[in-house]
């Protein structure tokens, strides 16, 4: 999957925001030019049970408060 030019201007997770007791398995993804005002421009994951990211590329992602590619909490 390709996640390109997505944005979250009031929160986290410009491309993907995962919240709660979830199992997430991301493979062969491209995250390009995603933006988040807070953190986690490509992926934000909060309180997840399991998160796996394999064979994926992150390019030109930007977040104002760090975690340009990934924010875990």
Rounded CA separation 5/17 (Å): 15
What pLDDT, on the 0 to 100 scale, is given for residue 24? Answer: 94
- DSSP annotation of 64: T
Q: Between the CA of residue 31 and those of 20, 21, 42, 49, what are the distances in Å?
A: 22, 23, 6, 22
- Rounded to two decimals, what is the model's pTM? 0.89
What pLDDT, on the 0 to 100 scale, is given for residue 14? Answer: 92
Closest C-alpha among 54, 55, 73 to residue 65: 73
Q: What is the CA radius of gyration of the chain?
A: 11
List, for the chain, all residue ranges whose pLDDT scores fall below the cut of 50: none
């Amino acid at each position: 999957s390709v996640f390109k030019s997505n944005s979250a201007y009031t929160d986290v997770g410009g491309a993907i925001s995962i919240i709660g007791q979830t199992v997430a398995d991301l493979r062969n993804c491209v995250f390009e030019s995603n933006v988040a005002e807070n953190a986690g421009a490509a992926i934000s994951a909060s309180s997840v049970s399991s998160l796996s990211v394999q064979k994926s590329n992150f390019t030109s992602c930007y977040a104002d408060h760090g975690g340009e590619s990934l924010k875990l909490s």
